[in-house]
Amino acid sequence: MSLNITALIISVLCIILYHICRAVVRQKRKGIYPPGPKPWPIVGNLFDLPSDQTGQTYLEWGRRNNSDILHAQVLGHHIVIVNKREIADELLEKRARNSSGRPYTPIVKLLDWEFNIALMDYGDEWRKHRKVCQQHLNREASRSFEPIQLEKVHRALLQLLRSPEEFEAHNRMLSISITMDMMYGYQVKNLDDPAIDAATRTAEIGDPLFMTSGSMINIIPVLARVPAWVPGAISQKLATQARYWTGKMKDIPVDDVKRQMAAGIDSPSLLTQFMEKKATTGASEEEEEIMKNVAYTVYGAASDTTISATATFFYTMAISPEVQKKAQAEIDRVVGNHRLPDFTDRASLPYIEAVYREVMRFAPPLPLGMMHTLAEDDFYGDYLLPKGTQVFANIWAITHDEGTYKDPDAFEPERFFDEDGSLNDDDRVLAYGYGRRICAGKHVASATMWITIVSILACFNISKAKDEFGKEIEINPEFEDHGVKTIKKPFECSITPRSPAVQKLIEDVVSELK
C-alpha cells in the first residue's frame, strides 16, 4: 500500500510540474495574462482564492490591480474573473461558442452529481438535455406550472399567518414544495420530509467541496484516486457521505412517482407526464434518463436559489419601509382587497416588477455564477486566456458596479424606471447566468419569485422586530456563503397581516384548495 501511495505522490508532482512548465512556455510564446495577485512558486495563487465573500473579494482584487479582468493560477490551472458587464458579455455571450464548456471536475463524479445539467460539459450530451429543458421550461410551457405555484404560495401565506416567526422555515418549505410538485407531483408535508432531508444533506456537504478552493481534487484530479481510508483524505470521506444522500435524493421522488402511477393517482408533473407517455407510446431508456436528470437538476438547483432570493426579499422589505408602502399602494390600486394577486396582474404592476429585479440584483444567489471553460486559446485585448481557462463572471461585482447602479449597496427599485415613470430596458436578470449556459429554468424561477413577492406584499407588513422595551432590533446586513451560493444570515423580523379582511381572505382561499 505504501508503494502505491508513494507512486501516486510522485505522479502528482510530475503532473504539477508539467502544467507549470506548459503554462510558462505558452505565456512566453503568446502573450501576457490579465493582472492578479502575485503567484507563489509551484502552488501559484492556491492560498489567495477566497472561500467566502467571493464576489466582494474579487472586486477588491480588481480595485488593487486597476483592472476589471483578473487572473489567478493554481498549480498550472488558469482562472479568470470578470468584474465588468461589457467584458462578460464579450467573452460569454458574443464568444459563447468558445466559452460554454465546463471543466472536468472529479469531485462531481465522487458526489454523484453528473446528472446535473448545469455541470455537464458543452457537447452532444448537454445539447440533448438542453433541448428537453427548452421544450418543457420555455416561457410558454412554464405557464403550465402556474396553478402549482399559486397553490403553494397561498399555503405559505397561511403558514406565515399562523407562525410568522418561523418565516425562514416557511420560505424553505415553499421553495422546495413548488419544485417537488412541478417535477414529480410529490407533496411535501413538512421540512422533516426524507426527500428534503436528503437534498439538504447532500448540498451542505457537497457545495463547499465543489468550490475551486474547496478541495484539492478540483485542482489535482489524480487525487480522486486516493482511497477514503487514507489519512488526510477528508474530501473523499465527505464525498462518500454526500454520494449516499444524493442517491436518496434521487430515489425518493422517483419511487413516489411509480407509487402514484400504480395507485392510479392523478398528480400531473413533468416526470409523471413523461412516464404516462412512455407507457402508451414508448420511450427509450436514454430519453427516460434525460427526463429524470432534468427533474433532478430543477429540484436540486431551483430550490436553493429561490430560498436565497426569498430570504433577501424578507430582509430588504424589513429595512425598506418606504419601498414596501409604495409596492403595497400599487397592489391595492390594481388588485384591490377582495382577491389575491395572480399571474394576470404582472403586466399591470411595474413597481412590483422593479422590486423583483432589485431583489435579484441586490444579492444574487450565485455571486460568481457557474464557471465557463474555454475550448481554445483566446485573447481579450493583449491578455492571453489559455485553452481550458475557467472564466467566472463576478455577478455580484457587475450588479454592484457604481458606473451602472448609483449607490449599489442601497435597495432602490426606482433605479429600474426611466424619467417618464416607465420601466427601463434593464430587464436582464444576471443572476440567471450568461450565454448558452444561462439557466434553462429562468422563466419558472422568475414566475415563482414574482408571485411570492406580490402575494406576501399584498397580505403582510414586514418590519424590524422589536425587543421587550419596544425598541427596534437592528438586522445584521451580512450574507454568508454556502459553497457556491450565498444566503442572508439568520435574522428576526416582524410579519403581521395588513388587515382582518386579508386574514380572512387567506383562510378562505386555502380552505378551497384540494
15-21: Cβ within 8 A, 24+ apart: 15/220, 15/222, 16/42, 16/75, 16/76, 16/220, 18/76, 19/75, 19/76, 19/77, 20/75, 20/76
CA atoms within 13 A on the CB side of 39: 22
Neighbours of 413 (CB within 10 A): 23
From first CA to last CA, the distance across the chain in angstroms is 61
What grid cell was written down for 26? Answer: 505558452
Q: How far apart are CA 444 and CA 451, in angstroms?
A: 11
Residue among 84, 2, 5, 70 at smallest CA distance from 39: 70
Q: How far apart are CA 108 and CA 121, in angstroms?
A: 12
Q: How far apart are CA 175 and CA 171, in angstroms?
A: 6
Burial string for 109-129 (b: 16+ CB within 10 Å, else e) reads: ebbbbebbbbbbebeeebebb
Q: Is 439 annotated as a binding residue?
A: yes
Residue among 379, 400, 378 at smallest CA distance from 387: 378
Burial string for 239-248 (b: 16+ CB within 10 Å, else e) reads: bebbbebbee
Binding residues: 439
Binding residues for heme: 439
